[in-house]
């Protein structure tokens, strides 16, 4: 069966109901956290290096599981899209990524 | 989504970014200097002050305004602001008869070359959903009044085409030069959620 997400993904938000008021922040910084800036730069660097193209990148975010899509922040989706594509294209492996993450998690304590 | 929902520096998310960056560095696929350069560009060189200069020039130079509305990409490049990823720029003019509002319902496409990175509210579900369905309600929420007879046009951005609003020049600015006018132009007025206010 064809996946429903091809027809109408959760990312296609135009006209949806029930999200509540638009929340604005006075004097909003460009990045709220350092990891956001690094996420953007990593994705841009991978795009510039042709490890994936812009359409693949957008699609990688549109494929994010709907409930995570709705509760995640903008740069979290950028991050997960980037990781997904780099894994799929074999630029990094799941094993080495997990090993590095475990290492950093342990160091954090 | 509010910024309160953004994971902090000790979060799992921040660690995932670190893990990814260290792997890519180790493989020699990126360089720290290039990453720093990219961050500097987005933090310090791309921002609404660029778009404000474009708007102020259009208000003071009718030939430039014609070129801007005819071919936004070329006219914006003329000012030294190049598309970050080759996207086409379309500039739409607000008048007493027509008010334009820009959204990206599918993700958060934004005219980076002239406005920099979008604010969180632009990327949020409430704005993306409602700008398409109830744009007058959105303008109300931003405290923006437009006439009941004013036509409201909503432009849904995409990967290839980015829209920017040329706001109306406010009254009591006849004596101001382009530089002073640019100071008045806000990011929100170039998205179309607000108007440019007259000087105090």
Q: What is the pLDDT of residues A71-94, one digit of tens each?
A: 899 999 999 999 999 999 999 999
Please tell me the distance from the alpha carbon of residue B75 to that of residue B80, in angstroms, as a whole number.
9
Q: What is the sign of the dihedral through the CA atoms of A82, A83, A88 and A92?
A: positive
Range of the domain at A85: 33-108
Tell me whether A6 touches chain B (CB under 8 Å).
no
Q: Mean of the pLDDT values across residues B2-31?
A: 90
Does one domain contain both B128 and B40? no
What is the Cα–Cα distance from A101 to A106, expressed in whole angstroms? 9
CA dihedral B55, B57, B62, B65 (to 10 degrees): -40
CATH number, domain with residue A70:
1.10.472.20
B57 and B121 inside one domain = yes
CATH number of the structural domain spanning residue B109:
3.90.330.10
- The answer to whether residue A71 is domain-embedded is yes
What DSSP line would sit under B37-65, residue for residue? HHHHIIIIISSHHHHHHHHHHHHH-HHHH
Q: Which domain holds residue B129?
A: 46-191
- Chain A (70-99) residues lying within 8 Å, Cβ to Cβ, of chain B: 70-71, 73-76, 79, 82-83, 86, 91-92, 96-97
Residue A60 within a domain: yes
Flag if A37 and B43 touch (Cβ within 8 Å). Answer: yes
A4 assigned to some structural domain = no
Q: Which residues pair with B99 in a beta bridge?
A: B152
Residue to test with chain B: of A73, A82, A83, most B Cβ within 10 A: A73
In a domain, A7, yes or no: no
Domain count, chain A: 1
Residue B109 pLDDT greater than 90, yes or no: no
Q: What is the ipTM of this complex?
A: 0.90
Q: Name which of B193, B190, B185 is nearest B124 in CA terms.
A: B193
Token pair belonging to B109: 């496409």
More confident residue, B78 or A17: B78
Residue A1: what pLDDT?
Answer: 44
Residue A2 has pLDDT above 80, yes or no: no
B35 assigned to some structural domain: yes
| pLDDT > 50? residue A24 | yes
Q: What is the pLDDT of residue B29?
A: 97
Same structural domain, B90 and B51: yes
Q: How far is B174 from chain A (nearest CA, A)?
A: 29
The residues of B annotated with a catalytic role in the active site are 104, 107-109
Say what the pLDDT of residue B4 is.
Answer: 54
pLDDT for the residue numbered A17: 85
In a domain, A22, yes or no: no
């Amino acid at each position: 069966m064809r996946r429903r997400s091809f027809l109408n993904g959760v990312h296609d938000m135009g006209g949806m109901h029930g999200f509540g008021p638009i929340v604005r922040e006075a004097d909003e910084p460009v990045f709220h956290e350092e990891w956001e800036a690094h996420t953007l730069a990593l994705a841009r660097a991978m795009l510039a290096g042709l490890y994936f193209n812009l359409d693949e990148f957008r699609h990688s975010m549109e494929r994010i599981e709907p409930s995570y899509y709705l509760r995640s922040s903008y740069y979290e989706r950028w991050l997960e899209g980037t990781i997904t594509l780099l894994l799929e294209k074999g630029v990094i492996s799941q094993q080495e990524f997990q090993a590095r993450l475990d290492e950093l998690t342990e160091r954090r304590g | 989504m509010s910024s309160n929902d953004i994971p902090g520096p000790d979060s799992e998310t921040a660690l995932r970014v670190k893990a990814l960056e260290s792997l890519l560095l180790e493989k020699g696929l990126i360089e720290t200097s290039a990453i720093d350069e990219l961050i500097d560009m987005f933090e310090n060189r791309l921002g609404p002050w660029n778009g404000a200069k474009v708007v102020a020039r259009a208000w003071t130079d009718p030939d430039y305004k014609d070129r801007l509305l005819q071919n936004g990409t070329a006219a914006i490049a003329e000012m030294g602001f190049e598309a970050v990823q080759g996207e086409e720029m379309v500039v739409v003019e607000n008048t007493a008869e027509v008010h334009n509002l820009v959204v990206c319902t599918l993700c958060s496409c934004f005219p980076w070359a002239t406005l920099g990175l979008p604010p969180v509210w632009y990327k949020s579900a409430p704005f993306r959903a409602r700008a398409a369905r109830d744009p007058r309600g959105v303008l109300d929420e931003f405290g923006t009044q437009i006439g009941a007879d004013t036509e409201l046009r909503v432009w849904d951005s995409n990967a290839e085409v980015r829209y920017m609003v040329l706001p109306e020049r406010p009254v009591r600015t006849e004596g101001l030069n382009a530089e002073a006018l640019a100071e008045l132009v806000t990011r929100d007025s170039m998205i179309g959620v607000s108007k440019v206010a007259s000087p105090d």
